[in-house]
Structure 1
């Protein structure tokens, strides 16, 4: 008996420290378009969401349509900033390496962001080889997070039962998506995170929260060891301290 068939990682805020960079560019462009929104408000309102999914709100505040040209400029300016500033989340590269080994390669990156961004970010921080052929974008699904589509697609591609997948997320939107897919979700909540509390992640459905990506392999191994040693009738619940 094993605890999980596969591990499915979100990207932004879980593997790469990109959210503050992306939201800064978005905030600047929204202000240029006539919406006097602060950086704090922009982070609060847009974290874990696609820009296009908030088109009605943007148009209401700017009085302008959210055009393809505006989005193309946003992507270009965002990518320039990411290429210049992006780093991996502390401990994430080593965690992915170890989880990849523990799972015999059965891992995926399932993000709400566009594929070009996700693949560029993974390549920049040296994680691309671990997710080769298993990057999934919410932009390519019928619905993006908080709907489960991207996680269901990742599980299906890995031939894994969603109910036996572990999802690693850092936002309420992402946790809701993982829970809706039927997966177990662990919430990543570093001490300096500012957009969701540990309590909110748990309320959204996370089974537990942890504060450093370097802790993930040991947590994962402990749960798998507990599952492997369980005897029939022990049940399937495993507590993480």
Structure 2
């Protein structure tokens, strides 16, 4: 099976930032007397656009500032937490160093945040400038356009591309783009896990053997 490229989501797939984001929301809303449960925030909003998360939380808890007004403080909180605590997902470095085809990052986050995550963790040495942000195209997963644009930039066909993503929105985007989707999840969405084009896995170290078993010649 011909595979020309592998695209990775960033947060929760390459870097362990999802709970840091939940804590950044918690810190922000505590200023308004709202105590958020970080696990509940993570479970409910994983993979969603920050603006939409802020809008939902503000409406739920009757917080008056608009999402546009709240977002800079959230970003500031998250940047500080990332600089103090951001780590690479276990097994990622070994995995990407073994890959023999072009790779890229596709994220709903701003380009500056993706770049910062790459630099903080040292992953920039593998991905270089192959970083694709939803903000650059004004389309956010589950819209498949971000993934399609990344494929165009890399001069590959979506059908010849693997997507590795940990979120429902990302998996849906990959399905809608016609990609081979590898869903990184301990507890996957049951409906998505049953889709024939979706492959569920729980550890990055599993992927080389899983790809070989699927006839995908992508590792050295």
TM-score (norm 1): 0.81
Offset at residue 140 of structure 1 (A): 2.0
Change in Cα spacing, 1:56 to 1:18, as seen in structure 2 (3 Å) is closer
**Matched pairs, number:** 217
Mapped partners of 1:226, 1:69: distance in 2: 47
Offset at residue 141 of structure 1 (A): 2.0
Residue 109 of structure 2 is aligned to residue 118 of structure 1: no
Change in Cα spacing, 1:200 to 1:80, as seen in structure 2 (3 Å) is farther
Offset at residue 69 of structure 1 (A): 4.2
1:136 maps to which of 132, 145, 162: 132
Q: Which runs of 5+ in 1 are unaligned?
A: 191-195, 228-241
Q: What is the aligned-residue RMSD (CA, Å)? A: 2.2
Q: Counterpart of 1:214?
A: 205
Q: Choose 51-60 or 89-98, whichever is displaced more.
A: 51-60
5 Å-filtered alignment, 1:50-199, equals 50-60=49-59, 61-99=61-99, 102-103=100-101, 106-190=102-186, 196-197=187-188, 199=190
Change in Cα spacing, 1:57 to 1:34, as seen in structure 2 (3 Å) is farther
Mapped partners of 1:33, 1:183: distance in 2: 43
Deviations 1:6-49 (A, max 9, x none): 10100111111110111111122123335443223211222101
Offset at residue 84 of structure 1 (A): 0.6
Deviations 1:202-239 (A, max 9, x none): 14675211111112223234434679xxxxxxxxxxxx
The higher radius of gyration belongs to 1
Change in Cα spacing, 1:29 to 1:131, as seen in structure 2 (3 Å) is same
Offset at residue 62 of structure 1 (A): 2.8
Q: Which runs of 5+ in 2 are unaligned?
A: none
Residue 27 of structure 2 is aligned to residue 20 of structure 1: no
TM-score (norm 2): 0.89
Offset at residue 55 of structure 1 (A): 4.5
Mapped partners of 1:47, 1:225: distance in 2: 29
- Contact map agreement 1:176 1:205 (CA 8 A) in 2: no
